[in-house]
Amino acid sequence: GGGFTSFRQREGNLESSDSLKAQLATSYGGRAAEEEVFGAAGTTPGASADIESATKLAKQMVGSLGFSPLIGPVHMPSLGEAAETEMSREVQVLLTEAYDRAKKLMRDNRPLLDTTTELLLKKEDVSGSELRELVKELGKRSVEEVKSESQGG
């Protein structure tokens, strides 16, 4: 089955631009993981719901929330075709940056990605607490490996 990423809304629904950009990158995590493991030709439509969600959020960020450096703090739904074109460009920039960030995170954390993939192949669902424990364990191992390598062993 395909994955699905959901977010808990902060109290009062007030989130910073950085927090929303992190959500965009997280939404691309499944697709970025597939590309890292299987290459671009090996990606599946499994992340389509997450991509759709990220696109909606990016449109809100640009067109309603004022998080576009080029367009500025405006509400754009009724500003015409030229504004719609500019909004689409800004949305594309946000989504491209988010996808690039997600791919970099997958590359930089490939051991965790591989271990998580193995776990998911054994059992289809992994809880947040299981993933946190895996990150903690892998982090310990990584620190020990670095220490061992730096001591020549």
For 28-71, write each residue's pLDDT tens digit: 999 999 999 889 998 888 889 999 999 999 999 988 888 887 77
Residue type, 12: G
| Model pTM score | 0.75
- Confidence label for 109 from pLDDT (cuts 50, 70 and 90): confident
Q: How far, rounded to the nearest angstrom, does the alpha carbon of residue 16 sit from its chain's CA centroid?
A: 16
Phi and psi angles of residue 38, each rounded to the nearest 5 degrees, phi first: -110, -5
Tell me whether residue 125 is exposed, middle or buried, using C-beta atoms within 10 angstroms of its C-beta: 0 to 12, 13 to 18, 19 or more: exposed
